[in-house]
Structure formats: structure tokens, C-alpha cells
């Protein structure tokens, strides 16, 4: 049974839902075909015309199924082809009305079912067009029935039927509009909730000023890399970087300029690090770079690439342009030590870089 469902409906959840609706519509049309043939069997409709109608009704719905199942319908704004399906079903219903003679009243519930089918999918504007089409095409069918069989379809009675369709169909359209508004409001609420969740996630893992990974999330990434290295036997490196004389710059130009500098450094550094690495703001003007699956020689090149990028920057401020340099300390993780111990060695190496005159990288012993 599961294989049959996958064959008929595919495993794509979106397409599966669309095809399920088409199969429901096909089942509805199939019920109408059975009813029409029953009426033909008891003499209320011409058997030959009903046979042709049955073939056309089933073939049309089968074509809709094939269009969706093959993916051909995806080229249209509405891949479900909801409105074309409704228009086709309404046309079939109008022809059935003209064929049924004394039994034509049985078509009205089918028309309501067709309109209700679109209430949960079509937009209010689409439903207005479908409703107008239903009123026009059923009005034409009533005129044909009245002219072809005036004894079975008296004009006065057909006018009453027309008033019924012209009243009930717009009412269904209004209900569809209300449902569409509710769907739209619900969709907007879901979108707002999703955006809020994304924002919460960003706040939990990102530094608000620079957009870099924040300290808390960086600790998680370092611990994850530590566990991977324990399993694989490989290693990683940590580098601690500091903007040289940032406090002096901040005091001289103000916090606004300091923020511009931090954002500029973050942007430039992210252009220089590998996709597999992580660069975070550790606090103040200090940054931490995690170089995944790297030994010291390779990692050193990565840190120097970041330093060179920052050193070539020109940060424009109201007072002119600033040239920046970075000091960095780097440590390769040793088997058996904790992440904190590796980080402490990198920070001591950073202190050594500052003592040696700044604007340099010092590897930890």
C-alpha cells in the first residue's frame, strides 16, 4: 500500500498534497459519472451523449493528474491548477445539467461541492472569477435546456433555477474570501514567528555589533572540534587576535569610531578565513579564530592572511583614514589538554606578541 501511495502521490510532500486534492476531485467526478449513467439507464438522459460526457469528464481530470504528476504544471503561477480544474468541472456540470432533463436538479449540489473545493485553496479574486463563470455557463445551460425541452424545462422554472445559482454561488465566493483572509493572516503569523525564531537564534549565537560568532557559541564550536579531534586523531589550532592600540583609538575618536573599526575588522577577517574555520568576537577588541583540522604550519598561514588583510585596510572616519594592525598569539591543540588550556597558551602567546612590539604573530611553545 505504501509503495502504491508513493507511486500515485510521489514522496515530495508538497506535490503529494496537490496530487491528493486532484485524486479527490477525480473521485468526485467519478461519482458524478456513475450518477449520470444511472440517470441514462432509467431514461432521464440520452445514453450516447452521457457516454461521451463521461469519457470527456474522466479524461480531463486524468490529464490534470498527469500534468501535476509529471511536473509540467510547475511552469504556472499556481502549480496546483486549482482554477482550471474548477472551470473544467463547472463546464462538465453545466453540460450535465443540459443533458439530464427532469433529473437536472441533481447537478446543483455538485456545483456547490466544486465551489467549496476552491474555498480552501483559491484566492478571493480567483473565486470571484470562477463564480462569475459558473453563473454565466449555468445560465447558458438553462437557456439551452429551456429551448431544447420546453416541456421538461419551462422558462419560468429555469429562471428560478438561475436565480438560485446567481444567489448561492456568490455567497460561496464571499465565504471563500473570508477563509482566504484567515489563511493569509495565519500565514503572516507563521512567517512572523519564524522570523522571530531566526532573530532569537541569531542573538543567541551572534555578536550584535559585528555579526560574528559570539563568545558563548564559539565555546560550543571549540568543544565540538575538540571532540572530533579526539575521535579522528587529528588536531586544530586556536588564535587570539587583538587590535593594536584600540583603547587609544577609542579614547581619541569616540565609541562610534571604535564600533566602525570593529565592524570593519570583522568584515575583512571573514573574507580571509576558510569556510571550515570560525572567527568570533571574544570581547572588546579581542577575537578568536578556530582553525579546524589544522596543524601549526598551515594554521599560521591562515592567521597571517587575516593579519595581512587587516593591515592593508583603510578605515575612513570623519577625521581622515585609519591604518590598523593586529597582534596575534596561536596555539596548536595538544593531545590530552583541554580547550581552555589551548586557549590559555594562545593568550600567553598574544601577550608575548605585544611585548615584542605588536603587529606580529607569535606561536605558542
| 175 and 68 inside one domain | yes
For the cut 80, the answer to whether the pLDDT of residue 217 exceeds it is: yes
| 63 and 97 inside one domain | yes
Residue 96, classified by CB atoms within 10 Å of its CB into exposed (0-12), middle (13-18) or buried (19+), is buried
Q: List all residues 6 or more positions away from 219 whose beta carbon is below 8 Å from its beta carbon.
A: 339
| 164 and 270 inside one domain | no
Compute the Cα dihedral for 352, 357, 358, 362 and give only its sign. Answer: negative
pLDDT at res. 25: 84
Mean pLDDT of 129-147: 91
pLDDT at res. 191: 86
What does the alpha-carbon distance between residue 93 and residue 111 come to, in Å, rounded to a whole number?
Answer: 7
pLDDT more than 70, % of the chain: 97
The mean pLDDT value of the chain amounts to 88
Reported as a single tens digit per residue, the pLDDT across 312-335 is 988 888 878 888 999 999 999 998
pLDDT at res. 63: 93
User: How many Cα neighbours within 13 Å face the side chain of 296?
Assistant: 13
Note whether residue 206 is domain-resident. no
Note whether residue 95 is domain-resident. yes
For the cut 70, the answer to whether the pLDDT of residue 184 exceeds it is: yes
Note whether residue 209 is domain-resident. no
Note whether residue 59 is domain-resident. yes
Model confidence at 262, pLDDT cuts 50, 70, 90, reads very high
**Residue 257 is placed in which grid cell?**
569610531
The domain that holds 277 is classified in CATH as 3.30.70.270
pLDDT at res. 2: 66
Q: Which of 236, 201, 205 is nearest to 220 (CA)?
A: 205
| 271 and 246 inside one domain | yes
| 103 and 36 inside one domain | yes
Q: Contact 300/330 with Cβ under 8 angstroms?
A: yes
For the cut 90, the answer to whether the pLDDT of residue 237 exceeds it is: yes
Q: Which of 356, 250, 352, 360 is nearest to 308 (CA)?
A: 360
For the cut 80, the answer to whether the pLDDT of residue 84 exceeds it is: yes
| 29 and 82 inside one domain | yes
| 165 and 28 inside one domain | yes
Reported as a single tens digit per residue, the pLDDT across 39-78 is 889 988 899 999 999 999 999 999 999 998 888 988 888 8
Total number of domains constituting the chain:
2
Note whether residue 127 is domain-resident. yes
Note whether residue 208 is domain-resident. no
Question: In this structure, what are the phi and psi dihedrals at residue 162, rounded to the nearest 5 degrees?
Answer: -65, -40
Is pTM beyond 0.85 here? no
Mean pLDDT of 162-189: 81
pLDDT at res. 1: 60
Q: 3-class secondary structure for the chain? A: CHHHHHHHHCCCHHHHHHHHHHHHHHHHHHHHHHHHHHHHHCCCCCHHHHHHHHHHHHHHHHHHHHHHHCCHHHHCCCCCCHHHHHHHHHHHHHHHHHHHHHHHHHHHHHHHHHHHHHHCCCCHHHHHHHHHHHHHHHHHHHHHHHHHCCCCCCHHHHHHHHHHHHHHHHHHHHHHHHHHHHHHHHHHHHHHHHHHHHHHHHHHHECCCCCCECHHHHHHHHHHHHHHHHHHCCCCEEEEEEECCHHHHHHHHCHHHHHHHHHHHHHHHHHHCCCCCEEEEEECCEEEEEECCCCHHHHHHHHHHHHHHHHCCCEEECCEEECCCEEEEEEECCCCCCHHHHHHHHHHHHHHHHHCCCCCEEECC
For the cut 70, the answer to whether the pLDDT of residue 134 exceeds it is: yes
Q: Contact 291/331 with Cβ under 8 angstroms?
A: no
Reported as a single tens digit per residue, the pLDDT across 241-261 is 999 999 998 888 888 999 999
pLDDT at res. 6: 66
Note whether residue 228 is domain-resident. yes
Note whether residue 210 is domain-resident. no
Mean pLDDT of 12-35: 85
Q: Of the residues 149, 168, 198, which one is the last residue of a structural domain?
A: 198
What does the alpha-carbon distance between residue 248 and residue 232 come to, in Å, rounded to a whole number?
Answer: 44
What domain range is 184 assigned to? Answer: 2-198
Reported as a single tens digit per residue, the pLDDT across 145-172 is 888 888 888 888 889 988 988 888 888 7
| 142 and 252 inside one domain | no
Q: Of the residues 128, 163, 198, which one is the last residue of a structural domain?
A: 198
| 190 and 235 inside one domain | no
Mean pLDDT of 126-150: 89
| 344 and 278 inside one domain | yes
| 84 and 228 inside one domain | no
pLDDT at res. 149: 81
Q: Of the residues 150, 167, 198, which one is the last residue of a structural domain?
A: 198
| 274 and 168 inside one domain | no
pLDDT at res. 88: 92
Mean pLDDT of 10-23: 82
Bridge partners of residue 240, in order along the sequence:
288, 329
Amino acid at each position: 500500500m505504501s509503495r502504491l501511495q508513493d507511486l500515485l502521490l510521489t514522496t515530495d510532500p508538497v506535490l503529494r498534497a496537490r496530487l491528493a486534492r486532484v485524486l479527490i476531485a477525480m473521485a468526485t467526478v467519478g461519482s458524478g459519472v456513475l450518477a449520470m449513467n444511472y440517470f441514462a439507464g432509467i431514461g432521464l438522459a440520452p445514453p450516447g451523449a452521457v457516454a461521451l460526457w463521461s469519457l470527456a469528464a474522466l479524461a480531463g481530470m486524468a490529464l490534470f493528474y498527469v500534468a501535476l504528476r509529471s511536473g509540467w504544471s510547475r511552469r504556472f503561477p499556481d502549480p496546483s491548477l486549482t482554477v482550471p480544474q474548477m472551470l473544467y468541472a463547472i463546464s462538465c456540470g453545466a453540460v450535465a445539467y443540459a443533458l439530464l432533463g427532469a433529473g437536472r436538479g441533481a447537478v446543483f449540489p455538485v456545483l456547490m461541492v466544486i465551489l467549496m473545493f476552491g474555498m480552501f485553496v483559491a484566492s478571493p479574486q480567483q473565486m470571484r472569477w470562477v463564480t462569475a463563470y459558473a453563473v454565466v455557463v449555468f445560465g447558458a445551460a438553462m437557456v439551452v435546456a429551456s429551448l431544447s425541452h420546453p416541456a421538461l424545462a419551462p422558462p419560468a422554472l429555469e429562471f428560478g433555477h438561475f436565480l438560485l445559482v446567481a444567489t448561492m454561488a456568490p455567497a460561496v465566493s464571499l465565504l471563500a474570501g473570508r477563509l482566504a483572509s484567515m489563511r493569509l493572516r495565519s500565514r503572516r503569523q507563521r512567517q512572523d514567528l519564524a522570523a522571530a525564531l531566526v532573530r532569537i537564534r541569531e542573538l543567541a549565537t551572534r555578536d550584535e555589533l559585528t555579526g560574528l560568532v559570539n563568545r558563548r557559541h564559539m565555546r560550543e564550536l571549540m568543544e565540538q572540534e575538540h571532540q572530533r579531534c579526539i575521535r579522528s586523531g587529528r588536531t586544530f589550532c586556536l588564535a587570539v587576535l587583538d587590535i593594536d592600540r584600540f583603547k587609544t583609538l577609542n579614547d581619541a575618536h569616540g565609541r562610534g569610531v571604535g564600533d566602525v573599526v570593529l565592524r570593519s575588522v570583522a568584515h575583512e577577517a571573514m573574507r580571509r578565513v576558510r569556510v571550515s574555520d570560525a572567527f568570533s568576537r571574544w570581547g572588546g577588541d579581542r577575537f578568536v579564530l578556530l582553525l579546524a583540522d589544522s596543524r601549526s604550519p598551515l594554521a599560521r598561514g591562515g592567521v597571517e592572511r587575516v593579519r595581512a588583510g587587516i593591515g592593508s585596510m583603510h578605515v575612513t572616519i570623519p577625521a581622515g583614514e585609519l591604518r590598523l594592525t593586529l597582534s596575534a598569539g596561536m596555539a596548536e591543540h595538544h593531545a590530552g589538554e583541554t580547550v581552555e588550556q589551548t586557549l590559555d597558551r594562545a593568550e600567553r602567546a598574544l601577550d608575548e606578541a605585544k611585548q615584542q612590539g605588536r603587529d606580529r604573530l607569535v606561536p605558542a611553545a
